[in-house]
Chain A
């Protein structure tokens, strides 16, 4: 690969250019000394050793899981919520590659990167949660085809691979491996079709996991059609996350957009229009699901009845109307606030299904241990750091600039 050596040779070594952002090693280390990095390092320093501790001493020593509560925060948040919030990858991928809405092209790569990192972290969280994770290989050989989890596992494995292949386009471009990245770029349409297919299946199947536990999940959340709700809300999560993530990216990495004409506000308003429609439809579908489950009388009754109203009115209907109003009257800030509420709404929904409304009839309730929270927090921080590390180096937010990597002030 001659181009690898040739391209960066003009100005320092390849490593200095591509890894240390053109700084010397000493300068680079100095630039890492920021308050954000210190807080992040502290969170990682607590969370990562707990992962080691968990494998040495077991789940009982680390988590508050019990015989009645087999799934806790690591499944409810890292897996259920993480996978939903990583849905932007296939949502925007389909928008651009399949529906041909080319104006969304500038946010496709960051959405795919967010998706890839989200899935990686969900898988790490899952490995921490599994009693004997190495036996996962049995998924591929034992034909447990009656299990919804079998479907989830296959699809997550396949889709993480697809996400890696999609992400490897900017990765290989950064490495200068043209021989690899050109064919992959050509395969992007096929990869996008696969990504939509696998996502449809496992995003919905994560909900189907609970169909077999009708007595344990509160009737307002239980539905034999829960897979529809999970899939549609994953699309909502994808749209909301892309709005939030592109807003943050354009604030934090503004220097990367010099010379690019990307009207983020216009894209945000377009996404809001889509979000408003999907969320509105989701609201009524959920209501229909409750009626179908003969649980209409439970709405507003007791803690769960009120909490269901908070979720559906506050985190679905409200942001849906905000999206509609904002898109119509070009209020970008309103749309962004609605997107944040939308993201929180997905977190609330996934935690409700897997933790809050699960075991609603048990007297002893689960609350995560500090170690479970620390690990989940560390994984989120690791994701943010990995995202920043990558966009500062690889052509995700901006086109590859050959050797002329500019110095990013203090945010490597």
Chain B
């Protein structure tokens, strides 16, 4: 087969279109320095200090204009999860020596959030200061963030005709205005410590390793899901507190890096490869590839 002008243009056109489509490359990873998220605003939760007053729940509801949380101890009857109208919950578990342990749960605000990486319209996006923020006006409601989140944090307003995703905002607006997150601002027992992530990791290590008889030797959130901005230390097992202990230690967005490397390869390789196959299969004048007129009017 002769590579005529028209054929060449066809090949070139198909490859060129592919090259255009391939911008921007989906494999751009969020560039990070070795100690990821060191500067980000974070919270260290020391569950040994939490008294279970649930003042954080009330403050959260007020700051986010949510319904009041239940105000009797029935709230501790069963492990609760967050919901579309409830961004944080405090759960109770028994320590074994008759005393209780409480744990506040909310969005973990991952350093490299799976939900934000999964969002195809970037309604969820990681802010440089720490919060994983959400813009409902961009959200198309695919709920892939809910599939992606290893902590099952994003919740959806199934009951509404115009639904949005709901979760803890880390009071991004309050933080931007120089205020503490609502929950941290009301905590009376010192269970919640707010600060730079790097400093809080140091503080957590100081407490855990300075008192190894008391603390469980693990800082939940230091490595989980590649590191989170909310970190926990405790003196019971994290499983007992209801934590997802099977969560990977590496960043979730990185899991799909290999798969996202496929499109650029396909887009650059396939068109020339397929055109080569076409040229090969039509090399002895079996047809010109434009039409198959011998087979009738079909084309």
Contact A68 B152 (CB under 8 A): yes
Binary CB contact string for chain B from 156 to 174 against chain A (1 if under 8 A, 0 otherwise): 1111111110000000000
Any B CB within 8 A of the CB of A131: yes
Any A CB within 8 A of the CB of B65: no
Per the 8 Å Cβ criterion, residues 199-257 of A in contact with B are: 200-201, 204-205, 208-216, 224, 226-227
B13 contact set on A, CB distance < 8 A: 190
B122 contact set on A, CB distance < 8 A: 138, 142-144
Any A CB within 8 A of the CB of B143: yes
Given contacts A57-B161, A59-B163, contact A70 B156 (CB under 8 A): yes
Any B CB within 8 A of the CB of A298: no
A185–B288 Cα gap in the complex (Å)?
13
* Chain B: minimal CB distance from A122 (Å): 14
Q: How large is the interface on B (under 10, 10 to 19, 20 to 34, 35 or more residues)?
A: 35 or more
A129–B148 Cα gap in the complex (Å)?
17
Considering residues B157, B270, B299, which has the most beta carbons from chain A within 10 angstroms of its beta carbon? B299
Per the 8 Å Cβ criterion, residues 281-299 of B in contact with A are: 281-282, 286-287, 289-292, 294-299
A150–B10 Cα gap in the complex (Å)?
28
A135–B121 Cα gap in the complex (Å)?
8
Per the 8 Å Cβ criterion, residues 139-182 of A in contact with B are: 139, 142-151, 153-154, 158, 169, 173
B117 contact set on A, CB distance < 8 A: 146-147, 212
Any A CB within 8 A of the CB of B278: yes
B275 contact set on A, CB distance < 8 A: 193
Please name the residue on chain B nearest to A260 by beta carbon: B296
Contact A145 B119 (CB under 8 A): no
Binary CB contact string for chain B from 132 to 165 against chain A (1 if under 8 A, 0 otherwise): 0000011111111011101010011111111110
Contact B298 A395 (CB under 8 A): yes
Contact B281 A71 (CB under 8 A): no
Given contacts A67-B81, A135-B138, A189-B278, contact A211 B24 (CB under 8 A): no
A145–B299 Cα gap in the complex (Å)?
37
* Chain A: minimal CB distance from B236 (Å): 22
A190 contact set on B, CB distance < 8 A: 10, 13-14
Given contacts A142-B138, A146-B260, A151-B263, contact A102 B297 (CB under 8 A): no
B144 contact set on A, CB distance < 8 A: 70, 147, 149, 209
Contact A227 B147 (CB under 8 A): no
Per the 8 Å Cβ criterion, residues 1-23 of B in contact with A are: 10, 13-14, 17-18, 21
Contact A97 B152 (CB under 8 A): no
Per the 8 Å Cβ criterion, residues 324-375 of A in contact with B are: none
A98 contact set on B, CB distance < 8 A: 274, 277-278, 281
Any A CB within 8 A of the CB of B71: no
Contact A65 B158 (CB under 8 A): yes
A135–B143 Cα gap in the complex (Å)?
13
Considering residues A136, A158, A213, A227, which has the most beta carbons from chain B within 10 angstroms of its beta carbon? A213
A318–B163 Cα gap in the complex (Å)?
45
Please name the residue on chain B nearest to A145 by beta carbon: B26
Contact A100 B260 (CB under 8 A): no
Partner of B262 from the list A106, A132, A224, A227 (CB cut-off 8 Å) is A227
A105–B26 Cα gap in the complex (Å)?
36
Contact B282 A58 (CB under 8 A): no
* Chain B: minimal CB distance from A134 (Å): 8
Any B CB within 8 A of the CB of A377: no
Any B CB within 8 A of the CB of A26: no
Please name the residue on chain A nearest to B118 by beta carbon: A147
A296–B10 Cα gap in the complex (Å)?
47
Contact A197 B18 (CB under 8 A): yes
Task: Pull 10 A–B residue pairs with CB atoms less than 8 Å apart, ordered by A.
Answer: A131-B163, A145-B28, A151-B26, A185-B299, A186-B290, A197-B271, A205-B262, A212-B148, A215-B247, A399-B296
Q: Contacts A185-B291, A227-B259, A395-B298 known; list 11 others, CB within 8 Å.
A: A70-B147, A71-B143, A98-B278, A100-B287, A102-B294, A142-B120, A146-B253, A149-B120, A185-B290, A193-B14, A196-B270
Give the 10 A-B residue pairs with the shortest CB-CB distance, closest first.
A131-B141, A60-B158, A138-B121, A100-B281, A208-B259, A399-B297, A70-B143, A135-B140, A70-B146, A150-B120
